Amino acid sequence: MRTKVLALLLACFASTAPSAAAVSVTLDAVTVHLFLETSGQLSADVTSMGFFETRNSKALGSDLPENEMYDSFLVKSAFSAGQETFQPGPIATLRITAKKTRKVIVARTIRDLYVGPSGKTYVPIFVAGRQCEPIAIEVKSGARAIRKELEFTCGE
């Protein structure tokens, strides 16, 4: 009898407990912004410009000021969730590789992500140092992967 009462009480409490369904964080977008040395500002997303190229440390692009120099860039990954949440553990991986040699330039794991009440958050990864070869940037989160390619060059 005592076992039946205990089982009944556990069943009642379990059915009235709030649902602890996990809110999933999703990867929405990846943008790349040059650090412009002359102005000290970040550029618009160079992967969405109609025209973009580099020569030595000079950045040329349809949405870039003339005679602008760069040395570093920022990769910004955008994430969202249906509501405010904290997702512990690994969320995504970012990998930057040289396209010709396949050498890994940067490899990072994005983990322990908090998404506030707005439902959006951004993770910046700053890459210091001039790149003199074409690169591929790939961010993977779950089944979603976003790949961006930039044709960095150096030389006269």
Residue 120 domain flag: yes
Residue 93 domain flag: yes
Give the range of the structural domain holding residue 95, as residue numbers without chain letter. 22-150
Q: Which two tokens stand for residue 117?
A: 């009440």
Residue 138 domain flag: yes
pTM for the predicted model, two decimal places: 0.82
Residue 8 domain flag: no
Residue 2 domain flag: no
pLDDT for the residue numbered 22: 60
pLDDT for the residue numbered 156: 56
Residue 107 domain flag: yes
Dihedral class, residue 83 (left if φ above 0, else alpha if ψ from -120 to 50, else beta): beta
Residue 12 domain flag: no
pLDDT for the residue numbered 154: 81
Neighbour tally for 62: CB within 10 Å: 11
List, for the chain, all residue ranges whose pLDDT scores fall below the cut of 50: 2-21
Domain count, the chain: 1
Side chain identity at residue 81, one-letter code: A
Residue 69 domain flag: yes
> How far, in Å, CA of 75 to CA of 78, rounded?
10
Ordered DSSP codes for 75-135? EEEEEE-SSSEEEEEEEEEEEEEETTT--EEEEEEEEEEEE-TTSEEEEEEEE-S---S-E
CATH of the domain at 140: 2.60.40
Q: Is residue 34 classed exposed, middle or buried when 0-12, 13-18 and 19+ CB atoms within 10 A define those classes? A: buried
